[in-house]
Amino acid sequence: MTTCSVCGDASELDYGYTTVKSGTGRVTRCLTCWKRRRERRELATVMLPFAAIVTLSVLSGRWQTALPTMRIYPVLVAVLWAHELGHATVGRALGLRVFEVVLGSGPRLVRARAGRTDIEARLFPFGGHTVMVSPRPAPVRLALGIAAGPFANLAVAAVTLLVWPRSGPWVAPLVIANIIVLIGNLWPVQVATPLGPVRSDGSALATLIRSPRQHLDDADALLRAAESRAAWVRGEADAAVAWAEAGLAAHPDHRPLRHFLTAALIRAGDIDAARDELRAQLARDDVESPERAMDLSNLAWADLMSGDPALLDEALVASEEAERRLAWHPAVKSTRGYALIESGRVEEGLARVHRAYEAHTDRRDRATSACIASIGAMRRGDVAEARSMLVTARRLDPACDLLERAAAEVETANARVG
């Protein structure tokens, strides 16, 4: 068993956990706790130097000396936008399918859609990513799309030097920041995360050059999976199913495609087909893996979404097995909580659902957990809490699949009161 030193969640699989040395020994964190720690460190990195310099400047009576430090924050945002929008702009111009552009890290500030691309801005001006895939074999186009981010920073630095007076107060921070980002992204490194290594642009280019055929095969499967997910997010369940099925016809062993297929089938209301697909996959794959744990959790979710009491026992068994393997995963925790609530073990279920709600970062996932929490609160007799969580779920995702079920529970209480 691998146990998180922070929250105490213990899983049979070590997937999603990281162990590092600290002053007091070795510390293990699950993905949820790792993300929270990373966000706190990013916040400290942004705020502490800023606060210290501004405070010292004010106390010394020379607040103007804080201005150079204050300039670094809009500079960081500009550098980040130039880099990621460089990827996206060149990628779209070359015919790549650009699914998503994320600017920064940490909590989401705003998300909008430009054409077929989702653009999301986050709180901290560090990092970001662009999801783009070639719809056909085109290694040169992919390479240019990957290289466009760093070279956008080079272009900004060059234009700054050519256009602005060299004595301008913004020239030095803009040039230095862009050169740092350029070198940092072209340097071929991988950063370890609980879900595996994250490649820099330089590392991605090196991988493409070394094994172009494997990269393009992976890209084709990823394209179908990403299209399926995008359709699922838009609420187009039938289109999501079609994309996943087309992808599996070409890549029958691609696990993400099978995951999106079952998710889309459940969203489309074809519960029997989803259960058949999941049971077949579980029968084929008897190796303990994160994918198997998620299949077990999804089988339990399909059982619960069916509304058939006869499937509750299977949901309880499958969700228990999934939780034993991936206890930290918010979706696994939420599904297990719902199964426990439906079985009458309301307090145990609510404890898991509330933790899942806090751990989820996606609004749709939080809405689902809020609906389950509303149902659980009603089963416990806490009508006020049930209504509050239902309102929260509606605000987070008006199209949530569980809204009608949660609303029906609350309306039953309203009818009794009336």
DSSP letter string, 244-297: HHHHHHH-TT-HHHHHHHHHHHHHTT-HHHHHHHHHHHHHH--S--HHHHHHHH
Closest CA to 78 of 179, 168, 174: 174
Say if residues 384 and 414 touch (Cβ distance below 8 Å): no
DSSP tag of 348: H
Model confidence pLDDT, tens digit, residues 12-61? 998 888 888 877 778 999 988 988 888 788 777 767 777 776 777 677 66
Parts of the chain with a pLDDT under 50: 194-195
Which pLDDT tens digit goes with each residue over 264-288? Answer: 999 888 999 999 999 999 998 777 8
Residue 320 is predicted with a pLDDT of 97
Predicted local confidence at residue 244, as pLDDT: 92
Residue 212: predicted pLDDT: 55
> How far apart are alpha carbons 271 and 296 in whole angstroms?
15
Q: What is the pLDDT of residue 15?
A: 87
Count CB atoms within 10 A of the CB of residue 8: 11
Which phi and psi angles does 158 have, rounded to 5°? -65, -45
Burial class (CB in 10 A: 0-12, 13-18, 19+), 324: middle
Separation between Cα atoms, residue 290 and residue 309, nearest integer Å: 28
At residue 68, the pLDDT reads: 62
Cα(271)–Cα(124) distance, rounded to whole angstroms? Answer: 40
Instruction: Name the one residue in this structure whose structure tokens are 């590092």.
Output: 20
The tokens of 101 are what?
């552009």
Structure token digits, residue 392: 């929260």
Q: What is the DSSP string of 310-321?
A: GGHHHHHHHHHH
Question: Exposure of 162 by Cβ count < 10 A (0-12 exposed, 13-18 middle, 19+ buried)?
Answer: exposed
Question: Cβ(37)–Cβ(29) under 8 Å?
Answer: yes
Residue 195, pLDDT score: 46
State the CB neighbour count (10 A cutoff) for residue 21.
8
Q: Report the pLDDT value the prediction gives residue 415, as an integer from 0 to 100.
A: 57
d(C-alpha 240, C-alpha 46), whole Å = 40
What residue ranges do the domains of the chain occupy? 1-61, 70-210, 214-417
Q: Quote the CA–CA distance of 406 and 383 in Å, as a whole number.
A: 12
The pLDDT score that the predictor gives to residue 124 is: 76
Going from the C-alpha of 219 to that of each of 140, 203, 244, 353, the distances in angstroms are: 13, 16, 14, 35
**In the prediction, which pLDDT does 21 show?**
80
Straight-line distance from the first to the last Cα atom of the chain, in angstroms, rounded to the nearest whole number? 51
CATH homologous superfamily for the domain 214-417: Tetratricopeptide repeat domain (1.25.40.10)
Q: How far apart are CA 244 and CA 240, in angstroms?
A: 6
Token couple for 84: 């990621």
Is the distance from CB of 291 to CB of 285 less than 8 angstroms? yes
- Asked whether the beta carbons of 262 and 277 are under 8 A apart, the reply is yes
Q: Where are the alpha helices (DSSP H) in 170-211?
A: 171-186, 201-210
pLDDT of residue 402: 94
Please name the residues in contact with 190: beta carbons below 8 A apart, sequence gap of 6 or more. Answer: 197, 198, 199, 200, 203
For residues 103 and 98, give the distance between their C-alpha atoms in angstroms, rounded to a whole number. Answer: 14
Identify the pLDDT of residue 335: 97
Tokens at 93, concatenated: 């111009």
Q: What is the DSSP letter of 136?
A: S
